[in-house]
Amino acid sequence: MKKQLATLLLALGLMTSFSAMAQQKIGHINADELLQLMPETKTAQQQLETYGRQLEKDLKEMETELQTKVNSFRENQKLMTELSRETKSREIQELQLRIQEYSQKAQEDLQQKQVELLSPIIEKATKAVQDVAKENNLAYVLDSSPSKAVVIFTADNSEDLMKKVKAKLGITN
């Protein structure tokens, strides 16, 4: 008897919470698309590409220097003393190590630069979405970006916030 009563109370509680949730308004937005539409994103991407090209240029210069040293070593190794060969070989190995370290550090720097440039843009977009959600009394806003796979189905009572958020951000296209 107690089990049946507990099950009945649980079922009633679930039905009540489901009906309360059904009355809550839900919105969705494609956050990836929103970020791509923001002019700040295009500027940040250009800055990131410029920064990446400079890092790549520096790395290529180091690799050219390495190749020059390797070629010189190969051409002249028969004429070198044992001590000279060991010294030049060590220089080449150290340069290879510096190139590897630089490459790794460059990747980390590029990722850090990306975070630095995109964080304020993401914060601005998030604030606009939050403002629109509050203005429209939405209980939840889901990200419908295909890359996130958060929203698989959009019901008729769900509201796409893209137009309102774009207006809030002043994006006209």
Residues ≥6 apart with Cβ < 8 Å to 96: 66
Residue 159, pLDDT above cutoff 80: no
Ranges of each domain in the chain:
22-169
27 pLDDT tier (thresholds 50, 70, 90)? confident
List, for residues 115-142, the tens digit of each pLDDT value. Answer: 999 999 999 999 999 999 999 888 888 8
Exposed/middle/buried for 69, CB within 10 Å: 0-12, 13-18, 19+?
Answer: middle
pTM: 0.68
Q: How far is CA 118 from CA 7, 28, 112, 163, 168, in A?
A: 50, 22, 10, 22, 19
CA–CA separation, 30 and 148 (whole Å): 9
- Candidate from 89-98, 127-136, 141-150 with smallest mean pLDDT: 141-150
List, for residues 55-64, the tens digit of each pLDDT value. Answer: 999 999 999 9
Looking at residue 5, its amino acid is L
Exposed/middle/buried for 171, CB within 10 Å: 0-12, 13-18, 19+?
Answer: middle
